[in-house]
Amino acid sequence: MEYDKSVINRLKRIEGQIKGVLGMMEQGKDCRDIVTQLSASRTAIDRTMGVIVSTNLEECVRKNIENGEDTDYLVKEAVELLIKSR
């Protein structure tokens, strides 16, 4: 699977968020502010995983339909993958 440039950009933004959190920690910022930023980073990671899984699922379903193959198991796999990631 090729990863869209937008997904890579998302991860770069998350990387920036994490670096920002490290900077906040080094500056001795308040715990609440750090946890808020970490929570935002986690949400961004979760959304990025969702985009990756859904894009891959769409691609796999199309291929299976073109080949006349079943797609039910693909959806189940994708859901299980997302559940495991939590």
Q: What is the pLDDT of residue 67?
A: 93
Summarised one tens digit per residue, pLDDT across range 22-35 is 999 999 999 999 99
Q: Hey, what CATH class is 5-85 in?
A: mainly alpha
- pLDDT single digits (tens) 14-24: 999 999 999 99
58: Cβ–Cβ under 8 A, 6 or more apart, which residues? none
Q: How far apart are CA 77 and CA 81, in angstroms?
A: 6
Q: How far apart are CA 22 and CA 14, in angstroms?
A: 12
Domain boundaries, the chain: 5-85
Kindly indicate the confidence band of residue 44, based on its pLDDT and cuts at 50, 70 and 90.
very high
Tokens at 74, concatenated: 């693909």
With a CB cutoff of 8 Å and minimum separation 6, the contacts of 38 are 21
Give the residue, 23 or 85, on which the prediction is more confident.
23
How much is the mean pLDDT over the chain? Answer: 92
pTM over 0.85: no
